[in-house]
Amino acid sequence: MMMGPPGRALNQEAQKPKDVRATLARFWYYVRRWWYALVLTIFMIIVATLCQVGSAPLIGQAVDCYFLPRADTCWYDPAALAAPQEQRLRGLLGLALLMSGLFATGALLQGLAFFTMNWAGQHALRRIREDTFHQMQRLSVGYYTRNEAGNIMSRVTSDTDTIQQALGFALLSVIGGILQLVVTGTLMLVTNLAYALISLSVVPLMVLATLYISNQARKAFRTTRQEMGNVNAGLQESIAGMREVQAFNREAESIAQFRATNAANRDANVRAATFTSALNPALEALGYVAIAIVVVVGGLSALRGEALLGGGVISLGMVFAFIQYVQRFNQPIQQIAILWTNLQSAVAGGERIFGLIDTEAEIVDDPAAHELPSIKGRVVFDAVHAEYISGQPVLRGVNFVAEAGQMVAIVGPTGAGKTTIINLIPRFYDVTAGSVSVDGHDVRSITAASLRRQIGIVLQDSFLFADTVMNNIRYGRLEASDEEVIAAARLVAAHEFIERLANGYQTVLGERGSGLSQGQRQLIAIARAALADPRILILDEATSSVDTRTERVIQRAFDQLLQGRTSFVIAHRLSTIRNADVVLVVQDGQIVERGTHDELLALHGAYHALYMSQFAQEKA
């Protein structure tokens, strides 16, 4: 089914199933090229974690060897048990220096790991942006008629920003936190199994709280990404249509619409923040409960001298060590839970980006498609049917032949199907039945690039880039020399006004060519088409937005450009197509009349009615 311009597609994103594992796998696809950086990062995190967690048993040894010496639990410096106070102080100082060294080493390795992880993440993010932009170039015109530009832009801007945050500090902290959990839990279990199990009894509650709240946060963050896209889309549309907004005094309505969209974005972010802010205090409270259990259970065992479930009497140093262990264990749980919401936001952004990357282009080359050789420009429409929405035909059985070098004018009321006809020639859309061929080649059997290289298009509102006049014209053929660009401008009578610009051909234009009149913008667009030297030229109401005097200038430019080329002209003013070889009158998706200007006037049919109504308006 051919998709096309009418209407905007509803946002189906919220209704699609979300596969977090698949999204994470896609992230890995982009990161795995720099696996060596990840391996180095993980190695540094492991060493840093060992350095940080290793301080906990040393704190216990400070108590059991120097503060309250116990022979059965002092393994760091047994000689300190019988040493005088001065020697114990020196030993305690050495232990403090060792712990300081461990902390410093851990901090240094964490900093290096952060840099390495960000280095790999930025490289992966660059590939994601490039693939996204490449996909945007592949998608057909129909996709952009159904999706707001601002929403698409948010995929490349705000969504990639969330991924950038995740691929840096958040992901590193999560990986480091998981390693810290493993190392800390192992040391606790090895030190005293019973005491460790009792100390970790709160962990299941923390995990359940994390899973529930982070799951709700992920849903909320997905909504924020969608609402942010709506804000960007509305903002872009409002800026682009600012002249119409002010011309019709619709500032208040525009503000109200933006306020509603912005409020929806605010509500989505508040909901996400609610879950994010609730997670930390919940986990922190459970962490204090865990520390209380460690102190009470360990303290009772140490004070009473009673063994704990057959695991031996707990020393005061072990209580201090386990307080450190529990803090070290709970800290990454809280950290992972908080940062996990950021990762969830990144996953939501990744789903939107990968959804765009995975969107199938509607117009693709057939695997057996071949390059179109140099053409003469004969175009044949054979029983062409076309529709944008299934069951709603736009063209119905259109047949005509445009011989090489002919000028074919297409006229008819708005919505008759004129633009659809010309969009089928460069294959911006596909027919649903019948065929369109160029020099005997069905356009579906040749590569789109080789077809479009030999077709030039000038639209009613041609797009000019924020670049020099020279480069805007050169866009028609990038390898053209400056002399060729100037020759193309001379051909269409654009050279004179360009020379009068502040910097001539090196004048930098504003957005969409602002600073030039509509007629000047059209002449630059015509020069661009002339430079491309196409065999087929399409003019879609290219003079309808200019005054009569400018129209005559542009018409003379067209007279030069159309010589020897097959041309298709959609004309607003019928007086501009008097010299057309063939005029096609289109109504309700069908050609109802065809012939020359004079022949159709003599028929006193649909064309005559159009011409006379326009003539009467001009006379009035």
Nearest to 457 by CA among 545, 541, 560, 575: 541
In whole angstroms, what separates CA 345 from the centre of its chain? Answer: 14
Amino acid type, 83: A
Asked if the model's pLDDT at residue 109 lies above 50, the reply is yes
Query: pLDDT tens across 582-614, in order?
Result: 999 999 999 999 999 889 999 988 888 888 887
Instruction: Give buried/exposed letters for 65-85 (b at 16+ CB in 10 A, else e).
Output: bbeebbeebbebbeebeebee
Structure confidence at residue 317 (pLDDT): 81
Asked if the model's pLDDT at residue 47 lies above 60, the reply is yes
Structure confidence at residue 520 (pLDDT): 83
Read off the pLDDT band of 424 (50, 70, 90): very high
Q: Which CATH number, 3.30.1490.190, 3.40.50.1980, 1.20.1560.10, 1.10.443.10, labels domain 25-357?
A: 1.20.1560.10
Q: Per DSSP, what are the bridge partners of residue 591?
A: 586
Read off the pLDDT band of 9 (50, 70, 90): very low
Mean pLDDT, rounded, for 21-39: 85
User: How far, in Å, CA of 208 to CA of 183, rounded?
Assistant: 22
Structure confidence at residue 585 (pLDDT): 92
Query: pLDDT tens across 62-75, in order?
Result: 887 877 777 777 87
Is 484:446 a contact under the CB 8 Å cutoff? no
Is 328:180 a contact under the CB 8 Å cutoff? yes
Domain parsing of the chain, residue ranges = 25-357
Percentage of the chain with pLDDT > 70?
Answer: 87
Structure confidence at residue 542 (pLDDT): 62
Query: pLDDT tens across 258-273, in order?
Result: 888 888 888 888 877 7
Angle between helices 55-62 and 35-53 (to 10 degrees): 10
User: How far, in Å, CA of 61 to CA of 76, rounded?
Assistant: 6
SS3 522: helix
User: How far, in Å, CA of 12 to CA of 17, rounded?
Assistant: 10
Asked if the model's pLDDT at residue 276 lies above 50, the reply is yes
Structure confidence at residue 529 (pLDDT): 85
Structure confidence at residue 311 (pLDDT): 62
Higher pLDDT, 543 or 350: 350
Q: What is the mean pLDDT of the chain?
A: 80
Joined together, the tokens standing for residue 427 give 């294959």
User: How far, in Å, CA of 538 to CA of 458, rounded?
Assistant: 6
| Entry field: residues in the chain | 620
Structure confidence at residue 546 (pLDDT): 58
Percentage of the chain with pLDDT > 90?
Answer: 12
Structure confidence at residue 334 (pLDDT): 66
Is 443:425 a contact under the CB 8 Å cutoff? yes
Nearest to 410 by CA among 582, 260, 605: 582
Query: Interior CA angle at 303 toward 302 and 308, to 5°?
Result: 40
Structure confidence at residue 10 (pLDDT): 29
Is 239:24 a contact under the CB 8 Å cutoff? no
To which H or E segment does residue 193 belong? Answer: helix 193-199
User: How far, in Å, CA of 492 to CA of 523, rounded?
Assistant: 7
User: How far, in Å, CA of 272 to CA of 265, rounded?
Assistant: 11
Higher pLDDT, 199 or 174: 199
Structure confidence at residue 408 (pLDDT): 92
Asked if the model's pLDDT at residue 382 lies above 90, the reply is yes
User: How far, in Å, CA of 248 to CA of 239, rounded?
Assistant: 15
Asked if the model's pLDDT at residue 285 lies above 70, the reply is yes
